[in-house]
Amino acid sequence: MSEHKGVWVYCETDESRLKRVALELVTKARTFADKLGEEVVAVLIGNDIERHAEGLIYQGADKVLVVDDEVFTNYTTDAYSKALANLIEERKPSILFLGATTNGRDLAPRVAAKLKLGLTADCTGLELNDKKQLVQIRPAFSGKVMVELVSPETRPQMTTVRPNVFKPAKPDNSRTGDIEQVKTLISQDDIRTEILERVKEVVEGMISVDEAEVVVCSGRGIKEPENLKLPEELAKLLDAAVGGSRPIVDLGWLPPTQQVGQSGRTILPNLYFALGISGAIQHLAGCSSADTFVAINKDPDAPIFENADFGIVGDIFEIVPAVIEEIKKIQAER
């Protein structure tokens, strides 16, 4: 196992764009590599993705492995898992992080099974213990408990990490590193699934909850879909994304891309508004790391208040318009 060296990050791209979680994970990998005295290696697999390599070095990578080929234009389990497994077998890293995205969570277990590796999905915390093992921390049972796991016998120690848990560091443009093109022997014949079409369901002009600095999220308390105009107005003032808890997304009032919580998105905004949300543990799992958490709810006993930096017990239809007026006043003064 001692021959395994290097903290690797699989840097996911989608339609040639780099996912933000890659930057979060390279930042985290840097801290581990420094403690272990190893290199950070970023792995890029895709088509037309070499241009991201330099940015990954600025972010903290010592080396970037680029597997750039037309066969990787769309994500497919077969092509990507073979490419990544081949690299791991050949170069033997000690740790491998992937983002716990839809495709990351499809890819990681396939690679783990190819190489017979332990794997922990969707980690929200990572540490090194005194044996220099990677401690993988994640919630279980809908967030009721936290669990620490290790993979003592297999290398690399492999995890997928939830996006928006770690903040990316500021890139350092003076950093240097190696960029290596890796040839692939994978061909179209290796791919057993065919992607006939990719359909986007994001609503035009709607800000994504994933990356917004401010998120205004509504729950059952909003009562009618027409009433969403109110959070939308607040969101517009603050350049915020409009989110929803599971019940209102299930009702179709907002698209699934805007759902915050365990079965939706985990977000890490600077400011979070929970409007008419009771605060089920599944919802809090997706938003409780917000820097500033505001809750407005009629029910004084709603668990959401236990999480809020600032809570107001009252009717959102009376309070939110008043908040909008106050914000307008402040903005006019600036």
Partner 1 sequence: MLIMELTSPAGQRTGSPRGVSFMKIIVPIKQVPEAVEVRIKEAADTLNTDGVPRILNPFDLFAVEAAIQLKEEKGGEVIIMTMGPPQASDAILKALAMGGDRAIHLTDPAFEGADSWSTAIVLAEQIRKMEYDLIICGRQSMDWDLGQVGAELAELLDLPQITGVRHLEIAGDGKHVITHRVTEDGYEVVKAKMPVLLTATKGLNEPRLPNIMGIMKAKKKPLETIDAATLGLDATQTGGAGALSKTVRVFPPEKRKGGIKLEDVEPKEAAKQLVEFLAKKGAI
Give the nearer residue to partner 1 in terms of CB position, either 30 or 265. Answer: 265
Our finding on whether 89 is near partner 1 (CB under 8 A) is no
Our finding on whether 187 is near partner 1 (CB under 8 A) is no
Our finding on whether 251 is near partner 1 (CB under 8 A) is no
Q: Tell me the window of 48-56, 180-188, 219-227, 290-298 that interacts with partner 1 (CB under 8 A).
A: 290-298
Our finding on whether 278 is near partner 1 (CB under 8 A) is no
- Which 129-168 residues touch partner 1, going by CB under 8 A? 135-136, 139-154
- Which 98-117 residues touch partner 1, going by CB under 8 A? 101-103, 105-106, 108-110, 112-114, 116-117
Gap between the Cα atoms of 64 and 49, Å rounded: 11
Gap between the Cα atoms of 328 and 334, Å rounded: 10
Our finding on whether 170 is near partner 1 (CB under 8 A) is no
Q: Tell me the window of 49-57, 169-177, 178-186, 194-202 that interacts with partner 1 (CB under 8 A).
A: 194-202
Q: Confirm if 330 and 236 have CB atoms less than 8 A apart.
A: no
Our finding on whether 227 is near partner 1 (CB under 8 A) is no
Token pair of 11, please?
A: 């840097």
Q: Tell me the window of 39-47, 61-69, 176-184, 284-292 that interacts with partner 1 (CB under 8 A).
A: 284-292
DSSP for 19-85, written as a single string: PHHHHHHHHHHHHHHHHHT--EEEEEEESS-GGGHHHHHHHT-SEEEEEE-GGGSS--HHHHHHHHH
Give the nearer residue to partner 1 in terms of CB position, either 61 or 164. Answer: 164
Q: How far is the CB of 87 from partner 1 (least distance, A)?
A: 17
Our finding on whether 196 is near partner 1 (CB under 8 A) is yes
35: number of Cβ within 10 Å:
11
What is the rounded (10 degree) CA torsion for 23, 27, 32, 35? 150
Task: Supply angle C-alpha 260, 261, 265, rounded to 5.
Answer: 55
Which sign does the torsion angle of CA 222, 227, 228, 234 carry?
A: negative
Chosen residue from 57, 119, 215, 274 binding partner 1 by CB under 8 A: 119
Chosen residue from 37, 192, 224, 252 binding partner 1 by CB under 8 A: 192
Q: Tell me the window of 29-37, 49-57, 196-204, 220-228 that interacts with partner 1 (CB under 8 A).
A: 196-204
- Which 303-322 residues touch partner 1, going by CB under 8 A? 305-315, 318-319, 322
Backbone angles phi, psi at 16, to 5 degrees: 70, 0
Token pair of 51, please?
A: 């241009």
Gap between the Cα atoms of 161 and 105, Å rounded: 9
